[in-house]
Amino acid sequence: MRKQFNLLGILGVLALVFIIAGCGEQQKQQSPVEPIIETAKIKLVGPCANDDPSSPVGIVPTLVEGNTPATTSTNVKIDPPNAGTYALGSGSVTITFNSDGFCGEVMEWSVTGNIVIDHVYAKGGNDYNDYDYTGQNPRPTTDGNLHCPINESEKYADFSHVNFVFHEVTTPSYALTISKTAVPEFTRTHKWTIDKTGDPTELTLCEGEAFLVNYTVTVDELLPPVDSDWKVTGTITIKNIAPEGITAQDVVITNISDVLSDGTVATIDCDLSSPITLIANGTLTCTYSAEPTSGIPGTNTVTVVTGTEGVTGGTATADYTFGDPTTVLDECITVSDDKFGPLFDGNEVCIDDGLPKVFNYSLEVQYEEWGLYTFTNVATFTTNDNGTTGSDSWDVAVTVCQCETAWGGNTGVNVGDKRAWWYYFDVLDGSPQTIWAGQYEDVGSVSYIGGNIVISLTGGWELYDPEGEAVKIQGYYEIPSVRPEAGHFDYKGMNLTVPVSEYPYYAIHLDVRRCP
């Protein structure tokens, strides 16, 4: 009896297993939604993390433990989840599945008609991923890369079923009409250079002597000019006009954003606080301004989001290219010299004047006292807008010497008198005799040696005559009554030892200088 009881128990268990399996198979075959059209699966590479977002909408799923909520008229369960098109209310949803052979299955969906998707539940394994679309405005009509939770193998679990939670828009939908303009502007600032040269670089002058130094000033534009302050401005026009056959309704605009292609976000002014209610058949005009960091051309995109069901927002674009500058600065300069005054006759020099521009002029260099000097003068340009300056200078090293007329001899004539003074050399007085500069300053000696007049300068004095006639000698048989006239000398030259004819008296005239 006991063996018979055990056998019957075993048979009963097997029968129960077959019954459950049969019910499960029957349940799979009796899906609550039958596909209208079945499509084949294709392969797609996807990531392997549970928070991988959908694409292109970008919904990050929420992992929910357990099974999906019970089905309702607006929560349709597709089980088994075969690719195809299924009825949703008065519209339909089309789903496809893709597998890359590595991460697992991902799903793509799209809806038709007035269907608005609120949630998609992707069930696989013990849990499901909730894709919540209720925060999207406008609501998408398609999305992809939906997947089930990660399983123990760190892959996407296979889909056991998928739920679509939706509602229908009873009012025919339409989109706002959006347009925009994009006006680029920027500032171009011109830069300048200045170069000053002179001739000579060194001068040796006598006290009070004047000399003209020649200068050349050259100004030119420094290329390239500097572009800055790029800006894109324009208007955004939003019209709430429904197509023919649809009645327009008041719409709430929850957000307006305007972005350049380089990521620069524009500042928008609509003269209204957000959210904005745009009445039926009304028009909203906004202005905007964006300041990119460079002059690279691009596209400006405005995006309008609504919070009114049945009326969607959208985008509009406008291209922009920075061509000619809208503001030009420092295209002209004035040039001056600190000792000469305005150059170029006081006129402006501009970029269209055929650059470079050259100005030649001269300045008189003169110092009254013995010493070492540096004659510096500076040429400066000043731009016409920003007042930017640039300059270049030229230095002339000036040595100012004490230059004197000197006479050799011990006997002076008219010395200390207002009349022309001079000394003469008396051979009978012997040698050497003093050379007198400026009447009273001893600058050396002169001797008569073997038919030669020998000149010796001391104290840093030297002969000096630009014409090469610093030494002039005239002989006399009698003491001269007047100073020899210029040009009436037997010898004129630069020698310190001069052969002369034999006379008892000589007029020895010297041009000398002493330099620091």
Concatenate the DSSP letters of all residues of 301-339 into one string: EEEEEE-STTEE-EEEEEEE---S-SEEE--EEEEEETT
What is the residue-level pLDDT of the chain in tens, covering all 516 positions? 333 334 334 334 333 333 333 433 333 333 445 555 443 333 334 468 999 999 999 999 999 999 999 999 999 999 999 999 999 998 999 999 998 678 899 999 999 878 999 999 999 999 999 999 998 877 899 999 999 999 988 999 999 999 999 998 776 689 999 999 999 999 999 999 999 999 999 999 999 999 999 999 999 999 999 999 999 999 999 999 999 888 899 999 999 999 999 999 999 999 877 789 999 999 999 999 999 999 999 999 999 999 888 899 999 999 999 999 999 999 999 999 999 999 999 999 999 999 999 999 999 999 999 999 999 999 999 999 999 999 999 999 999 999 999 999 998 888 877 678 999 999 999 889 999 999 999 999 999 999 999 999 999 999 999 999 999 999 999 987 888 887 789 999 999 999 999 999 999 999 999 999
Q: What is the per-residue pLDDT for 42?
A: 36
Element at 14 (helix H, strand E)? helix 2-29
Phi, psi of 511 (to 5 degrees): -110, 120
Q: Which residues pair with 260 in a beta bridge?
A: 300
Question: 371-394 burial, b for 16+ CB within 10 Å, e for fewer?
Answer: eebebebebbbbbbeeebebebeb
Q: Which two tokens stand for residue 22?
A: 């049969």
Q: How far apart are the first and last CA of the chain?
A: 147
User: Which of 423, 417, 478, 467 lies closest to 445 in space, CA to CA?
Assistant: 423
Residue type, 394: W
The Cα–Cα gap between 285 and 177 comes to 12
Q: What is the per-residue pLDDT for 501?
A: 96
The Cα–Cα gap between 191 and 223 comes to 7
Q: What is the per-residue pLDDT for 34?
A: 52
How would you class 289 by CB atoms within 10 Å of its CB: exposed for 0-12, middle for 13-18, buried for 19 or more?
Answer: middle
Over its C-alpha atoms, the chain yields an Rg (Å, rounded) of 54
User: Which of 368, 373, 377 lies closest to 398 in space, CA to CA?
Assistant: 373
Q: Which two tokens stand for residue 145?
A: 């890369």
Residue type, 127: D
The Cα–Cα gap between 383 and 364 comes to 28
Place of tokens 């006991």: 2
Element at 9 (helix H, strand E)? helix 2-29
Query: Coil, strand or helix: which one is 193?
Result: strand
Q: State the number of CA atoms in the 13 A half-sphere of 393 facing the CB.
A: 9
The Cα–Cα gap between 418 and 429 comes to 27
Quote the distance between the C-alpha of residue 473 and its chain's center. Answer: 76
Please state, in angstroms and as integers, the Cα–Cα distance from residue 135 to each residue in 139, 249, 268, 412, following that order.
8, 22, 24, 120
Measured at the CA of 55, the angle between CA 51 and CA 60, to 5 degrees, comes to 25
Q: What is the per-residue pLDDT for 100?
A: 64
Please state, in angstroms and as integers, the Cα–Cα distance from residue 490 to each residue in 149, 408, 476, 498, following that order.
125, 16, 11, 11
The Cα–Cα gap between 377 and 370 comes to 21
Helix/strand number for the chain, H first, E second = 1, 39
Q: Which two tokens stand for residue 187?
A: 């500032």
The Cα–Cα gap between 487 and 501 comes to 18
The Cα–Cα gap between 481 and 420 comes to 12
Query: Coil, strand or helix: which one is 30?
Result: coil
The Cα–Cα gap between 442 and 78 comes to 129
Beta carbons of 192 and 222 less than 8 angstroms apart:
yes
Q: What is the per-residue pLDDT for 138?
A: 75
Phi, psi of 2 (to 5 degrees): -70, -40
Beta carbons of 120 and 131 less than 8 angstroms apart:
yes
Q: What is the per-residue pLDDT for 172?
A: 65
Query: Beta strand pairing status for 298-306 and 505-514?
Result: unpaired
Query: pLDDT by residue (tens digit) across 208-266?
Result: 999 999 999 999 999 999 999 999 999 999 999 999 888 899 999 999 999 999 999 99
